[in-house]
Amino acid sequence: MSEQKTIALITGANRGIGLETARQLGKKGVTILAAARELSRSEAAVAELKKEGIDARPIKLDVDNPADYKAAADKIEKEFGVLDILINNAGIMLDGRKGNETSTTSPEILKKTFDTNFFAVVALTQTLLPLLKKSKAGRIVNLSSILGSNTLHATKGSFIYDAKTFAYDASKVALNSFTIHLAHELQGTNIKVNSAHPGWVKTEMGGEGAMLEIEDGAKTSVALATLPDEGPTGAYIHMGEALPW
């Protein structure tokens, strides 16, 4: 990617899948910008990564605070001059878990979910795109979910057919649309844009009943962040397999 170092910015890198993604990329020699809502949380994550010999740097980036976007871009421009990998990992789920509550999902829950899971991703990516365009092999990874598959949601008998969390699901559908549209715009460039489904992972969001350990949950993001030139773009991937939109 960049001649001297490969630089990766990961949002929500202070815990869960984000931190594990930072760990796995760092062990591949990638310099990690471990973004977190609060600088202290980023610094704690960086200290943990450095104990494992990883080149990690703290950066305050609250995805719900647009003022942080330009500050992050300016910092990256000044210190590295390029960004090779952007992993839009930060996200929230505010829906209840009592079954399908679409008819009672409040406008406030919808707005807050979309602000973090969709609008923030679009705005941050747009801000950092000039730096990604300087990379010899820019990679954008949008952390989606299988719950963003309209095809599976509409297919009776699919394993997510009865898993309806309206605000979260809809935000991931919108995120997938962003992936498709941005990848199309950037076709013919050195930048690849893909959506990643990490799997049902044992995180604070996934819960203890989830099927995958955090180590496995980071694998798809890491693979998409390090795609070779012949790799896909505009795809929706889990563990190397394409998912239905």
Domain of 76, in residue numbers: 7-94+121-147+172-242
Of 172, 192, 202, 219, the catalytic one is 172
pLDDT reported for residue 1: 40
**Average pLDDT score over residue span 87-100:** 92
When pLDDT is cut at 50, 70 and 90, the band that residue 77 belongs to is very high
Q: Is residue 217 part of a domain?
A: yes
**Average pLDDT score over residue span 174-194:** 98
Q: Is residue 115 part of a domain?
A: no
Number of domains the chain is built from: 1
Q: Is residue 163 part of a domain?
A: no
pTM: 0.94
**In the annotation, is 112 catalytic?**
no
When pLDDT is cut at 50, 70 and 90, the band that residue 70 belongs to is very high
Neighbours of 99 (CB within 10 A): 10
**Average pLDDT score over residue span 74-98:** 95
pLDDT reported for residue 205: 53
pLDDT digits over 128-162, tens only? 999 999 999 999 999 999 999 999 999 999 989 99
Q: Is residue 72 part of a domain?
A: yes
pLDDT digits over 193-241, tens only? 999 999 765 455 544 554 668 778 899 999 999 999 999 999 999 999 9
Q: Is residue 65 predicted with pLDDT exceeding 60?
A: yes
Q: Is residue 166 part of a domain?
A: no
Cβ atoms of residues 60 and 200 within 8 Å: no
Beta bridge partners, 85, equal 8, 139
Supply the DSSP symbol for 212: B
Q: Is residue 164 part of a domain?
A: no
What tokens were used for 13?
A: 């890198």
What is the CA angle 150-160-174, rounded to 5? 30
CATH code for position 195: 3.40.50.720
Q: Is residue 104 part of a domain?
A: no
Q: Is residue 2 predicted with pLDDT exceeding 50?
A: no
Q: Is residue 112 predicted with pLDDT exceeding 60?
A: yes
Q: Is residue 90 part of a domain?
A: yes
pLDDT reported for residue 211: 62
Q: Is residue 26 predicted with pLDDT exceeding 90?
A: yes
**In the annotation, is 168 catalytic?**
yes
pLDDT reported for residue 215: 79
Of 168, 202, 219, 236, the catalytic one is 168
What is the secondary structure of 149-170 as a DSSP string? -HHHHTSTTSTTTT---HHHHH
The CA-atom distances, in angstroms, between 36 and each of 46, 108, 141, 188 are 11, 24, 17, 32
